[in-house]
Structures are given as structure tokens and as C-alpha cells.
Structure 1
Amino acid sequence: MLFSFSSCKKETKAAGLTIKDGVLMVGMEIGYPPFEYFDTDGKTPVGFDVQLANALAGKLGLKVEIVDTAWDGIFAGVDTSKYDCIMSAVTFTSERAEKFNFTKPYIGNAQALVLLKGSSVKARTPEELGGLGVAYQAETTSDIYMTKLAEEKNLKFTAYEYDKVMNCFDDLKSGRADAIVCDSLVAVDYVNAADSPFEIVWLGEADEVFAVCLKKGNDALTAKLNEALDALFAEGTMLKISKDIFSVDMVSSVR
């Protein structure tokens, strides 16, 4: 599904660098609040990455076309040129960097352990989740983290893997899952919501960063996006987006 946004900029600084002339096509998994999700009308994409995409495209004189893509196919989509880049809370890892280009980071992240308030679950770290039902989004760094923990610590738990992080919170609330491991930035958004039934009981080291992901070898567009990203940080736009979404500065730590 495609969603188009117009930019107020007219001067095109990325001519010939995008799949469609004058358009930055962006792959997103729309279902990952607060980074990308549908507004109350059920059809308008909103969130941190949506604002970022529009701001970056504006710097390049492009309009944005968002391509809603399931997470398990999002990297294949950029690899086969279905869109120019991915802006969908993509964590930079050395393994991914072997296969894809990445811009400079735009926000930091950590893993978080989320429980229901008043839960009888005593675990306060992921290492204590043995014997419990743990929900996380499949093929994400949370999945990688829990898989590695299971292998290295011989931790045995029931894994509930979902294609969207929203389903993790639904099942924790319903009682099907005992705990969630997810990105801290997502956890904060759910915990800070009015009348939230959730609480964060553990935060990992803030050693992850999100960046824009591009097809391997697309160095020219990567460079242009880095220039635009630098400008957004310098002029305060990144801070403005952060405060709009999180109410606090969550971006300056990566600079």
C-alpha cells in the first residue's frame, strides 16, 4: 500500500538518485508505534519515522511515498529496489551492514522488559524469564537478543513471536503472555499512555541505534541523506520531532 506526502521544497538536490524522479520511496512497517502507525482515521501514517521521512525528503526537494511493508519482507524490498530506503526503526548491526548501506544514526535505543502492573511475575531481568511466556516481534533485535540469551544461558521459555509489536502488548494485556521484550522507545510510548496497564521493569544498555537503511552500494543517496540528516540535527528539527513524539530529547545522544 502506498501513501504519498508532498514536500514544500521545490529545488531537487537528489536528481537521478531515486527510483522515481522527484520521489523518495520509503519502506515502513506501519504498525510500530510511536515510529510508524496509522492515525485515528485508520489510513494516515504518522509517527517519528514518518516525520523524519518528510523532513529528509524536504531537504532533498523530494516528495515522500511510503510503502507499507511487512517486517519479514522489508529488507528484501529495499534489496530488490521496491523502494529507495527503509525508515522503520531499523537497528544498525554489523551483520546488517555487510548486506546494506546505512546512514548515520538518528536515535538511540535499548532493549526493555515490560510486565503488567501488579503482575505476579517476579522476573526483573530477561535472564529470569525461564519458564514464562515471552512475547516479542519476530526477526527484530529483540528476537535476536532472546535467541542469543536462550543459547548462551540455556534459558528455556515459551516464545510468542508476532509480526507486529502491537500484538505483543495485546497478548500481555489479555494474559496470554507473561512478559514482553521490545525496543525501549516503544516500551516508553506504551507505558506513558494514559491509564497504561504496563510497566518497564528492566532497561538494557543503550547500545543500539536506529538508522536509515538502503540497498548495498547506493552510496550517492546515502551521502545525500547523511547531509540532510546533519542539517536536521544542526537546525534543531530532530530535537523538535523527538519532543513532539516523546516529549523529551531522545536524539542528541547519538551526536
Structure 2
Amino acid sequence: MKEDITMAKLLKTTFTLFLALAFVFSFTSCKKEKAESSSATSSGNVSEAWIWEGPDYETLKENPGKAEITISNPTGVLAKVIDSGELIIGTSPDYPAAEFVDAATGEVMGCEILLAQYIANSLGVELKIETMDFSAVLTALDTGKIDLAISGFGYKEDRAEQYELSHGYEAQSSVSHHTLVVRADEIDQYNALSDLSGKKIDAQASSLQQMYVEDQIPNADLQLITSLDQGVLDLLADKIDAIALDATTAKNYAEASNGQLVSLYTEKEIEFDLSMYSDYAGNVCAAKKGETQFMEVINEIIDQVLATENYYEEYNLYATYYYAACEAAGISPEEE
């Protein structure tokens, strides 16, 4: 009898894992299919509720633009970048539309990748992209493996103490919503963040979501992961109760889950309170501590990206990058 029960559990676990893997694969394939046909609005692969009519990703990749800057007497990492003719960035490409891997070509894409190319163009150097787990990106700065970390980072006080952080940049206010994804059949359990107290919650190590869970759901059983795909596998296999992530990514994972997962922000407007962090809106780049000249130049470049008003209709250049990257990834931005 015990052996029968054990075998039944094993079969159930194996089947659940198979379904989870199939979901993650279908989510990736869906992004691939939508990206391949994104220019054909009648194909049915791009959400009919949202269509980007601005410049597409390939057009922006060919000519992302550049800032007009003057560099005098470069030192440190800035001198190294200019002398070598190469800017090396580190990123974890599992966070569409900021950075992701095209399933068809293996190319690293995203709005932050376009920003990185803009920065490299402004410095007059080539761009080299090093991919790694999210938790390894900042470590790569410490060891000198990369020059600049661009991987969906937000401002954190302890992060600012250890690294030089850039000015913030964001495409729209909706990316400043952060929430959780839960199983659809458990949605009735949750009406506020406090209902997640004591629950097992996945968040990427060193991410903003880790900080939000620690600050606002202090009794949660926080599990740190290296990728959001791992969180999806954990959630579908009943290993955890929720995943913490931004609202746009939450919505897209939920839409790709065939009704198995839901976003608490979309369904019940449950989100983390970001008012205590309001002075630091948007994502930031990071450089090694002490590289102030390098970061001053990066900030000058970023300021010009954000100041490029009406690049396409009412959008500045970074917002244009963002929406084009959403289209390329086959996802729709979160609507207010």
C-alpha cells in the first residue's frame, strides 16, 4: 500500500512537472511566434487589444540613435571602455520587455538592450553583451568582468551604497506597479497583501521584488530564485503560493498560462505600496563603486534619451524602445 501511494505521488509530481515545463515552453514559443509575425497585424499572433504602430524593433536596432557628449580626460572604467573600443554589459535576459532571448535566433533583445546600444554609440564604441543569472550580474561588476550592469535593476538603498547607480528611466507608469501571481483556483484567498502572510513566495535574488516582500509581507516564507521561469515551475508544481514580479510581466505570464495563473494586480488591484520608494522611479544602470566619472557620463546619455520628446507621437525615445520591444517579445504592456 505504501509503495502504491508513493508511486501515485511520483506519477502526480511527474505529470505536474510535465505540465509546468510545457507551459514555460509554450510561453517562450508564444513570444517567438508573436515576434516573428509582429508586423502582420492580421496574423492573430499579436494581441488585438494592443498594436504598436511606431518603429519596429529591427528598425530601432539598426539605428537606436546616440547622444551628443564631450568626454575630457577619461579615467578608470571610462578610459578602459574608450581605449578598448568596447562596452561590456552584464544582463539576465529573462525579463521581457527589458531583456529577453529571441527563441528563433538566440539574440538578446529588449528595451534596455537598445538603451545599452545607444550608450555604446554615444561613447563611440562597440557593445558586447554578457548574459548570466540575475544574482551574478552585480558580482560581475565587482570582479571587473563587465563595465556596466543593465538588467531591470531598481534603486535600493543598500545597492546605492555598494554601486554607482544611474538616473532612473521608465517608459510608462504601469511598470511601476509590482504585484504577485498566484494559482487561479486560489484567487479567492487574497484580497490584500496581508493575506499572503505566512505564504511561500518566490522572488528573484537581489531584485526589487525581494525588497518589497521583505518590507511589506514580513512573515512570508521568501524563496529566492535565479529566474522567473523557475518561479512559474515552482508555482505550477504547488511548491510555492505566489511569485512576486512587476505587473506587466505578471499579466503576460497569466495570459500565457491557459487559465492556470492570475495576476493579483489585474484581478484585484493588489500591489506593493511603492510610495516609500517614490523618489527612485524606474530602472537604473549600475557601475562599480567609485566610478563616478563613468556614471556621470552614463547619466548625461540617459538624460538625453529621456529628453528626446515626441520621438514617435507623444513617446520619448526610451518609451519607443519599450513598446517596440513589447511587440518583438509578443507581449502587451500593462494598461492603466
What is the DSSP-based 3-state SS (H/G/I as helix, E as strand, rest coil) of the residue aligned with 1:223? helix
Any conservation in 2 of the 1:6–1:64 contact (CA below 8 Å)?
A: no
Once residues 262 and 108 of structure 2 are traced to their aligned partners in structure 1, the CA distance between those partners, rounded to angstroms, is 27
The one-letter code sitting in structure 2 at the alignment partner of 1:228 is I
Greater helix share, structure number: 2
Q: Which residue of the partner structure matches residue 300 of structure 2? A: 227
Question: Cα gap change, 1:46/1:180 in structure 2, threshold over 3 Å: closer, same or farther?
Answer: same
What is the DSSP-based 3-state SS (H/G/I as helix, E as strand, rest coil) of the residue aligned with 1:104? coil
Identity score, percent: 21
After TM superposition, give the deviation of residue 131 of structure 1 in Å: 4.2
- Which of these two proteins has the greater Rg computed from alpha carbons? 2
Q: Which residues in structure 2 correspond to 1:102-251 (within 5 Å)?
A: 102-107=165-170, 109-120=176-187, 122-149=189-216, 151=218, 155=219, 157-191=220-254, 193=256, 195=258, 197-201=260-264, 202-206=270-274, 207=278, 208-235=281-308, 236-246=316-326
The one-letter code sitting in structure 2 at the alignment partner of 1:232 is V
Once residues 212 and 114 of structure 1 are traced to their aligned partners in structure 2, the CA distance between those partners, rounded to angstroms, is 27
Any conservation in 2 of the 1:33–1:189 contact (CA below 8 Å)?
A: no
Aligned length: 242
The one-letter code sitting in structure 1 at the alignment partner of 2:323 is K
Gaps of 5+ in 1: 251-255
Provide TM-score, normalisation by structure 2. 0.62
Any conservation in 2 of the 1:242–1:249 contact (CA below 8 Å)?
A: no
Any conservation in 2 of the 1:7–1:62 contact (CA below 8 Å)?
A: no
After TM superposition, give the deviation of residue 89 of structure 1 in Å: 0.7
Once residues 77 and 169 of structure 1 are traced to their aligned partners in structure 2, the CA distance between those partners, rounded to angstroms, is 26
After TM superposition, give the deviation of residue 87 of structure 1 in Å: 0.3
Any conservation in 2 of the 1:13–1:61 contact (CA below 8 Å)?
A: no
Aligned CA-pair RMSD: 3.1
Q: 1:27 aligns with which of 90, 98, 119?
A: 90
After TM superposition, give the deviation of residue 12 of structure 1 in Å: 9.4
What is the DSSP-based 3-state SS (H/G/I as helix, E as strand, rest coil) of the residue aligned with 1:205? coil
User: 1:191-222: per-residue Cα shift (whole Å, max 9, x none)?
Assistant: 45585643221222344531011111212221
Greater strand share, structure number: 1
Any conservation in 1 of the 2:183–2:236 contact (CA below 8 Å)?
A: yes
